[in-house]
Structure formats: structure tokens, C-alpha cells
Chains A and B, each alone.
Chain A
């Protein structure tokens, strides 16, 4: 008897708690009319995106292979994660991913800034060139990969042909040699995305105030000095945006790898995102793939949290 009464009262207090909780929230929401405009998207994301993500977390704790005729799901706890850290391919792909991200983002930032400076004057020519330079970044990455794959072709490609003319031994081609495969693929990424950074930096440059420059000129500083001591510091917020944008995109690279090297030669260009695809959608080892995906997710989240902290501290 007492036990039942006890449970009953817990239930009752629990129910009232939830009631008051929801009531306060509803009150708060009623106070903010803008919330209703946000709600559709929020609901949509929760249903379409968050539910699958929880599904993915759950699945990563199971051994679930779609190729099994019975499609049994057996609980294995953290085994998938342990397996991930022992798997040499995973470690290689994490390394490759970091190399890829750091390499491409760095080069693109520098090159993008350079291009922005080069084409910033408001001449007809510069404007004309700028609109053409937008094309690479709007192309499907798949197509870009295919184009460059043929340009790089060891036997018939344009690039090895000219390299050979210059006397450089091409060996198995830029995409076929262990030492050049990753740089070659990174070059494709640079080709496609530098224009994006160029635009962002152009916008940043255009919004710079004139007065500091005029003051500096009066004080006798040279072009170069103005650049180092004025432009660079003033461009910091733009830099951060560009950095974040490209880094996040770079972690997600897939189409480029798929269309050029399929992760090869060997595993020289296997990035984590691509490996997850191989495990999950060619082997259909769903549990393991979900675990790997969560690991990648954590990597990216850590980075973004760092970014958010930096940004909010800067009081934008």
C-alpha cells in the first residue's frame, strides 16, 4: 500500500513539474512573437535531422550489417569505437583529413587574399575577370574532379604531357604516385575554392575605412607598410569567417576524392569522410560506419566550439 501511494505521489509531482515547466516555456514563447517564425524550421530540423542523428548514435553501439539476411542488431557497446581506434585505415584517414584541411585552407587563404588584392581595383577589366573567376566554385565538385582526373592522366593527360616536355619524370602520374597524389588532389580543391575566398576578402577589403590609410600616408608610410600594419589587422574578422567557412567545408570533402582517386593510390588520399562512405555504403556495416561518423562529428564540433568561443568573446 505505502509503496503504491509513494509511486502515485511521485507520478503526481512529476506531472505537475512537467506542467509548470511547459507552462513557463509557453509563457516565455508567447512573449516573443518572433519565435513563431522560427518554429517551422526548428520542427523540421528536429524531425528530419535530429532524429536520424540520435538513430545514428544508437546504431553505433550495435553490430548492424545490412548485408546480413536477417539484419540482426546485436548490442556491442563501445566495441565499434574501440575497433575504430585500432583500425590502421582509420588512423591513416584521420591523418589524411588533417593534412588535407590544413593544407587546402592555408593555401586558399593566402591565395585568396592575394587574388583579392590583385583584382580589387574597380577597373572594368578587374570586374570582368572577377565574374569569370566565380565559375570554378559554382561547379559540381564531381565534375571538377573528373576534369582534373583527365588533365592529370599519366598517359594521355595534358599536365603530364607538358611536365614531360619540361623533362620532369612523371612516373605514374600526379594521381598515381604516392608522394604526389595528396598534393594533386589538394590542388584541385584549391582551384575550386580559392575564388570563394577571393570574394570574401574582396568584400572585406571594400568595407575597410579610408581614414587610417590617409593618416598613415600623411605619416609617410609606404604601401607595403600600410598593408602589414593596417590591412592585415583590420581584416581579422573577415579572415576568421573565411577560415571557418573553408575549414568546415574541407572536412566534408567527398565528391573530389570519389571522382579522382577513390582514396588511392593505396590509402594516400583516403580521408575520414570517404572511409565512412566505404564502410557504410559499400560494405553496409552500419554500426561501425555510424561510430566513425560520430568520431568525425566530434572532431568538427570541437573545432566549431573553439571558433564560437573566439567569436563571441570578440563581441561582434
Chain B
């Protein structure tokens, strides 16, 4: 008899332990459950329809994340839709989103979508095509105001898998003071870029800052240079062709540039490259326009007032290319339809003209013509006209937005880095990268 009661106690304890764990489950599971049914009864105002809806936004930790932090509470106040902001680094963001999509776990309802992911998200049906929403709400959207090139932030084969959110121009940032002291003009061709980098590397100063870290960082930097030299990672038929003689030459050039970059550059991610430029030890840096404002911020920058931007140079004799990049914002295809509707409300709100002004003021990046030409903003950010020009001539397919993009990026990320540290020759690096891409795209 005693034995029995002790056993009972024993199993009660076990059950308690399990309960503890399950009790932990509940709060985590709640936000995913649709609260819709209780709210359905015909509500006059749009606000009531979304009362209590909770969304989760996955945002890249780019500069615009500050804008999100400021704007999201405002949105919640106006609409009652609560949004949890999850900030993730580039590698983590891509991985968590992919896991969320393939697992159909819908942990994220909204997400920032890199321009180059458009093809992948489209083919795999990860995000919701927004065309129906866009057609329905056309009147509110003022679509003509959005810069044409900005549509590449989510468009693929005629449909829109993400909505434009932050447009970037690829520019060359340089130190006015350093160039002046050396008596040279900022470079207008790639060859001049190399020469200037070489010339300006002396006395604790380096010519240029580059991304060399194994992974997406070095892959993107290399691909940018491929574009600027007129090369391509695709062949005439649109198939991946990394191991061409031309690309090998460009890779050698890339390696050459690294000689005039700080020694840790082969480990540089975007933040380290930014830090290098902001701390004043490099003379030039190609980068996205969104970082420009940060150089004027005395809390983080030691080069306030010393920076200027110009268009990123291309090879001698080439047509000028204006690289365009940036991020769109997408809706998870696996979220419930109420969540998707609410998410669309946020997108519309964020992209509206008035909010765009605050978006930009809080370190966001523009997508509308009206924002780029607004007198108040132009006065605050004198490089806007350059950006406007860049956008108008911009090429969003500057890096191919094809479905295999991430696979290409991973392969290049490993082997370009291997080349830079001397583990591979230019040819063998590109050859191995090509092989890896082919193995993974079976």
C-alpha cells in the first residue's frame, strides 16, 4: 500500500515537471494562433477588424532598423496592430527565414527581403504575392511616385513577392581631406581606383576598405566588382558561369586591391568595414548609400564633415553602371489570412509619403521620388540629388536576382575568401565555386 502511494507521488512529480515545460509552451504558442474568430462580428471601422492581432517582423540589422524601432510603436497606436520586432544579422536572418519558410512555422509574418532573394522567394513560394493587394488598394498607394528601379526590390517574373522598402545606391565614399592633401581627384574608373588606393596607403592610412569575410560579405563585394568590370557570373544563356577567364582576372584585381586595405580585411563584415571607414583609417570605401548619414554622427564617427560621395567607378571605357540594391518587405505565405491583411496594412502605412519622410529621417532609405526631392530632406542630406540620379539610371539586376543566388553566394563566399588568404589560385577558386554551385543545384 505504501509502495503504491509513493509511486503515485513519484509520477505526480514527473507530471509536474512536464507541466512546467508545457506551461512554458503556452505563451510562446499564443501569438501564432489566429485571434480572428472572436473578432469577426461586423465592425464598421478597419481598426476593430485588426484589434488584438499580433505580428512579428524579422528585420535585418541594417541602419533602417532604428527607423523600425521608432515607427512601429506609432503604427500600433494608430491601428491597434501589435508588431514584435526581431533584429537579426544577415547570416542569421537568411537562415532563420529559410527555416521558418521550409518548416511552415510562420514565426515571422513580415520580413525584410534582400533584393537578391527575390528569385528564390518567388520560385519557392515563400512570400505572398502582393499583386492582388496592390490592385485592390491601388488608389492609396500612389505607385507612380515610387522610383521604377525600386520595384526590383521584390519583383520577379512579373509578380511582386515583396514591396519596396529601402533603396540603396552603390556609391564610392571618400575622404575629401585625404584626397585634397594628396592633390588628386576622386577616381572615375576602376583603374584609377586601384592607383589611388595604392597611392594613399601610407603612414597608418589605408587606401580602401573592402569586405573579405568568408560568406556573403566577400561574395557580394566580389560580385559588385565583377559588375563594375563588365563581367558577369552568368553566361549568355543565363546559366551560372563562375569559372571564366574574365572572372579570374577580376578576382586577381580584387586581390590586388586587398593589398591596400587594412590587414584584417579578409575578416571584414559590413560593420567592421564601416567601423574602419568611420574611425578614419581608410581613404575610400565603396558601399551602400544608406550608411552615408552615419558618417556625420559624432557619436560613432571620427570623420564628421570629411566625407563625400561619388558614383562608383567602372572600368575604363565602360558605360557607367549605377548599382542599385536594398531591401523589400514581404509577407509570409504561411501566415493566416488575417495576419496577412494586417501585415499589408503595415506595408502600405510604411510606404506612404508622410511616413517615408520619418523613415528616412531615422536612418531609413528612400524609395519614392517625392522623398528624394523633398526640399527639407535635401537640405538635411545634400547627397540626395546624387542618389536620385543614381536611382534613375539604376540597375537593380546588377546582381542577378535568380533563385540560385544564395547558392552562388555561398560558393563564392567560401572560395573567394580562400583565394584572398592564399589557399587557392584565382582559377582554382572559381573552378571549385562553380563545382559547388552545380552540386547544389541538382
A and B: interacting chains: yes
Contact B262 A155 (CB under 8 A): yes
A281 to B214, CA, bound (A): 18
Residue of A nearest to B125 (CB): A69
Count B interface residues, CB 8 Å. Answer: 34
Q: Does A145 contact B (CB under 8 A)?
A: no
Residue of A nearest to B436 (CB): A89
Q: Does A200 contact B (CB under 8 A)?
A: no
Interface size class of A (residues with CB under 8 A): 20 to 34
Contact A266 B418 (CB under 8 A): yes
Contact A265 B264 (CB under 8 A): no
Interface segment, B65-73, B374-382, B384-392, B421-429?
B421-429
Instruction: Find chain A residues with CB under 8 A from B432 CB.
Output: 88
| B421 vs chain A, min Cβ distance (A) | 4
Contact B263 A281 (CB under 8 A): no
Instruction: Find chain A residues with CB under 8 A from B103 CB.
Output: 66
Q: Does B14 contact A (CB under 8 A)?
A: yes
A284 to B99, CA, bound (A): 8
Instruction: Find chain A residues with CB under 8 A from B423 CB.
Output: 178, 265-268
Residue of B nearest to A177 (CB): B421
Interface centre among B263, B281, B432 (most CB of A within 10 A): B263
Q: Hey, what's the 0/1 contact readout for B417-441 against A, CB within 8 Å counting as 1? A: 1101111100000001000000110
Interface centre among B123, B215, B266, B420 (most CB of A within 10 A): B266
Q: Does A255 contact B (CB under 8 A)?
A: no
A282 to B14, CA, bound (A): 36
CB-contacts of B239-289 with A (<8 A): 262-267, 276, 281
| A277 vs chain B, min Cβ distance (A) | 10
Q: Does B414 contact A (CB under 8 A)?
A: yes
Contact B422 A67 (CB under 8 A): no
Contact A176 B414 (CB under 8 A): no
Contact A69 B267 (CB under 8 A): no
Instruction: Find chain A residues with CB under 8 A from B125 CB.
Output: 69
Contact A154 B267 (CB under 8 A): yes
A154 and B422 in contact, given A67-B124, A266-B214 (Cβ under 8 angstroms): no
Instruction: Find chain A residues with CB under 8 A from B265 CB.
Output: 172
Residue of A nearest to B214 (CB): A264
CB-contacts of A140-192 with B (<8 A): 153-155, 170-173, 175-178
Q: Does A263 contact B (CB under 8 A)?
A: yes
| A289 vs chain B, min Cβ distance (A) | 12
Q: Does A94 contact B (CB under 8 A)?
A: no
Contact B424 A266 (CB under 8 A): yes
Instruction: Find chain A residues with CB under 8 A from B213 CB.
Output: 262, 264
Contact B421 A178 (CB under 8 A): yes
Q: A-contacting residues of B (Cβ < 8 Å)?
A: 14, 95, 98-99, 102-103, 123-125, 213-215, 262-267, 276, 281, 407, 410, 414-415, 417-418, 420-424, 432, 439-440
Q: B-contacting residues of A (Cβ < 8 Å)?
A: 40, 66-67, 69, 71, 87-88, 153-155, 170-173, 175-178, 261-268, 281-285
In the assembled complex, 27 residue pairs joining A and B whose CB atoms fall closer than 8 Å, in A order, are A40-B14, A67-B102, A69-B125, A88-B432, A153-B264, A155-B262, A155-B276, A155-B281, A172-B266, A173-B267, A176-B264, A176-B267, A176-B421, A177-B421, A261-B214, A262-B213, A263-B214, A264-B417, A264-B421, A265-B417, A265-B418, A265-B421, A265-B423, A266-B417, A267-B423, A268-B421, A283-B440
